[in-house]
Amino acid sequence: MFTEKNIQQIKNHGLSEAEVTRQINIFKEGIPFANVMAAASANNGIEVFSEKQQQHFVNLFEVEKDKLELLKFVPASGAATRMFKFLHEFLEKYNPAENIDEFLQKEENLNAKLFFESIDDFAFSFLVNRKLKEKYPDFENFNKEKRYYLFVKEILEEDGLNFSNTPKGLVPFHKYGDNYVTAFGEQLYEAAFYVTSNGIANLHFTVSAEHEEKFKKRFEEVEHKVEKKTGVQLKISYSFQKQETDTVAVTSKNNLFIDENGDLLFRPSGHGALLENLNDVDADIIFIKNIDNVVSRNYVETVAFQKKVLAGKLILLQQKIFRFIEQLQTENPSEALLKEIVKFISEELNIKDTPIYKKEILKILDRPIRVCGVVENTGAPGGGPFLIKDKDGNLSYQIVEMSQIDTNNSKQKALVEEATHFNPVDLVCGVRNYKGEKYNLLKYSDPDAGFISNKSYQGKPIKALELPGLWNGAMANWNTVFVEVPLITFNPVKTVNDLLNEVHQPK
């Protein structure tokens, strides 16, 4: 199957022939869809806390946090290209000789219309204008058509600010006085409010190797400001998506795709590859949050409060689980204790039909745990909390991506349409056991939860394999608890116009 050249390429990639063969077999056999039994809902798989309960969990977290190692884990390798998609289209379609107002009135250009109407409300506008005035001293006297066209070129193109090839985390999101703050900067500031233990906040960012120095440079620029403002010392680490997590591409007929140089084509395997990175970091509690899900500083304490609620809930669950495991270490635990633990597993971990046997109970309790914040459905694309039946007939609540669900099946589609909540990637994770030892997270993944997608390479159709997503299949065999959190905690910036939302406009 493999030429000598291919075999060497596989080895150089940190992979084995057996692993690549396994991937090819997955393409041939397909990946089974998730078997959705029900959508989780409030008080039916999703816990909803009163204000009094929330405050209780926050208080517990505040009492315990200085005894714990805390870490914020932020996937941050994404480029900003898609954020500016409609502006790329503007440059392709618009001729500066054309009347700009007539162009913007067309329905397909309404995003560009909103952008230009609100041009001064973007944190990067003063940078763009400053650059344009340096290049064109007479810029302010140009007609509107030319000013708008040059403004967009300055944002996107290489000889300008080059946001097309900038990590999303390093694009200016918010402006305070004369200073702009990137998504990266807001993640640093926010961390001081809930990832602080003994005056130190630890953060880990997964970035592209070619952008690491840009992140480090930005950190040097803002470190002192953030530490002075918050009174918290920041400790930062970085990692890259590992080359050995890449997957091989195949043709539409599931044969190896060979490029024009006779080489195999390897592709990054989605955010599921970051399970390796998560497995390499260690802390008592790890908060996971996407780089672009930030708010301006007016709202940070509100968001931080909700993070502490989730962490407090995690701590309480862990205290109970660790106590139960220690009690089960006795040679003959009482039937009353076993029944108490099974009740806890059923009611608080949402795992039903647990046999009353010490071995099975220990297997359920002794594994990583996560508390997932979920928000009410807003129609945003992405995964949500569902009750799933696995191939062995076991029921569990999981985060499931839409790509894992067979929406051509009318029953499965109907269950998806009943979904009331959405997963905004708001996770608090416990990755150490009752002895304080780190779990090997790779052992708790479901390899069947990946998916196959259709892509293209230089105009040719290919099939690509994504690993089980970090917060769905990669964590499928963790203990999982869903908690409703308010919409204020979910403010991703998918398009540049999202920065016009109130939470991104500092008062």
Alpha-carbon span 19 to 29, nearest angstrom: 15
Name the token pair of 406: 């067979």
pLDDT tens across 156-200, in order? 999 999 998 999 999 999 999 989 999 999 999 999 999 999 999
Q: Which pLDDT score is estimated for 138?
A: 94
Cα-based distances in Å from 266 to 79, 271, 298, 313, 352: 19, 15, 44, 41, 41
Q: Give the residue ranges of the chain where pLDDT is below 50.
A: none
Spatial CB neighbours of 14, under 8 Å, sequence gap ≥ 6 = 242, 243, 244
Every domain of the chain and the residues it spans: 4-77+168-489, 85-165
CATH architecture type of domain 4-77+168-489: Alpha-Beta Complex (3.90)
3-state secondary structure of 298: coil
Look at residue 343 in the predicted model and tell me its pLDDT: 94
Structure tokens at 230: 């918050």
In whole angstroms, what is the distance from residue 341 CA to residue 320 CA? 9
